[in-house]
Amino acid sequence: MHLDDLDTPALLIDEPRMTRAIARMQSHIDALGVRLRPHVKTSKCVDVALRQRAAGGCGITVSTLKEAEEFFAAGFDDIVYAVGIAPQRLPQAFALMRRGCALQIVVDSLAAAERVAAAARHEALAPRVLIEVDVDGHRAGVPPESPLLLDIARTLHAAGALAGVMTHCGASYECRDQAALVAMAEQERSRCVRAAERLRAAGLPCEVVSVGSTPTAHAARSLPGVTEVRAGVYVFYDLVMAGIGVCAPEDIALSVLTTVIGHQPAKGWVLVDAGWMAMSRDRGTLSQPHDQGYGAVCDEAGALLPGWIVAQANQEHGIVEHRDGAAAAGDVVARFPIGMRLRVLPNHACATAAQHARYAVVEGDAVRHLWPRFGGW
């Protein structure tokens, strides 16, 4: 099968780029002497996760119980569900555990810990629970020095359910240089390890110390006290990661194949059939120094066309413009004729991939595989 055989818009994985990305992260985390637990929310694709496992990944991370169920059915039985569990979802999680899935769940409040402990006693099950630690004020978690940390830990331990601590350093996405990333990685590590030390000092177990985000995972220089690193978007990279300096635009493995369907020559606009339905509404580069609109435009072979971005998006229309305006665009009708195909690199791989049900895995202009991905909850 050939690129020409695909209808547009179509979601592409550049297979050599993905292979390099997987190897790069795995070798870095291997060298630090800890386990890498890939976050499969980015791909939601068993075939991609199998590549990560073959490269050395230990277990997976998920963002929904639907992912846990789908990947468990595909043979992945060591899973961290890294979002604080809604109490109503406990029966579903417990059912997975009873079927043999080593599923770890997450809480960050006494109320949730009490619900888990009560359910564990009621069902005579000892779930493995991680306490989420807040290392950056970014989202969820309890501060490592908080008295609440020990209250939650004791509540879980009394039910035989305390497995350890975990964190996600979302603030790393706001770093703008390598020194800041290295410092943020050390902040993530030291604060999460501090939480673990407080549990142990109180006589509580803390087997797992799980940290991670793609930027901090790449930036970490040493990880004493950490048992595993979770990271997701590194498998494809994206323009947000390139904007942070984690990768080059040429490393991005994910793109959307699109077709030119019209022009507004006086404005220098090229209309394509990749709108927000194909790209997502993610504008993650808006707050970065180099705003990429809804994506950076490449030729059909994947070579960047510097300056060209999807500047606007409607549901099924993208408007490609040169970032320097109509004068810089030149004769768009001649340069981008009707029917021409382009690739667009996404701001945020997780969001763009979520708009599609299938990956076309390409090497050059050959389509090597068609891999399904799932959605939903």
Residues that bind a copy of itself (CB under 8 A): 7-10, 41, 63-64, 83-89, 92, 108-109, 111-112, 115, 134, 139-140, 170, 259-264, 271, 273, 276-278, 280-283, 314-317, 319, 333, 337-339, 348, 350-351, 354-357, 375-377
User: Closest approach of Cβ 208 to a copy of itself, in Å?
Assistant: 19
Looking at beta carbons only, is 28 or 89 nearer to a copy of itself?
89
CA distance 195 to 198: 5
Looking at beta carbons only, is 251 or 282 nearer to a copy of itself?
282
Phi first, then psi: give them for residue 108, nearest 5 degrees: -145, 25
Sorted by sequence, the CB contacts under 8 Å of residue 70 that are 6+ apart come out as: 44, 46, 374
User: Closest approach of Cβ 203 to a copy of itself, in Å?
Assistant: 26
Q: What is the number of helices (H) and of strands (E) in the chain?
A: 13, 17
The token pair at 185 is 């990685």
Looking at beta carbons only, is 210 or 280 nearer to a copy of itself?
280
User: Closest approach of Cβ 354 to a copy of itself, in Å?
Assistant: 6
Residues in the chain, total: 377
User: Closest approach of Cβ 298 to a copy of itself, in Å?
Assistant: 18
User: Closest approach of Cβ 52 to a copy of itself, in Å?
Assistant: 18
Q: What is the dihedral of CA 93, 96, 97, 102, to 10 degrees?
A: -100
Looking at beta carbons only, is 34 or 310 nearer to a copy of itself?
310
User: Closest approach of Cβ 170 to a copy of itself, in Å?
Assistant: 7
With residue 154 as reference, give the H or E element that holds it. helix 147-158
User: Closest approach of Cβ 249 to a copy of itself, in Å?
Assistant: 21
CA distance 363 to 369: 10
Looking at beta carbons only, is 128 or 373 nearer to a copy of itself?
373
Under DSSP, the state recorded for 64 is S
CA distance 123 to 142: 27
User: Closest approach of Cβ 204 to a copy of itself, in Å?
Assistant: 21
Contact between 14 and 363 (Cβ < 8 Å) = yes
CA distance 104 to 127: 7
Looking at beta carbons only, is 91 or 364 nearer to a copy of itself?
91
Phi first, then psi: give them for residue 224, nearest 5 degrees: -60, 135
User: Closest approach of Cβ 173 to a copy of itself, in Å?
Assistant: 10
CA distance 304 to 14: 14
53-78: buried (b, 16+ CB within 10 Å) or exposed (e) per residue? bebbbebbbbbbbebbbbbbeeebee
Looking at beta carbons only, is 210 or 258 nearer to a copy of itself?
258
Looking at beta carbons only, is 11 or 163 nearer to a copy of itself?
11
Looking at beta carbons only, is 223 or 271 nearer to a copy of itself?
271
Give alpha helix (H) positions in 32-99. Answer: 46-54, 65-73, 90-98
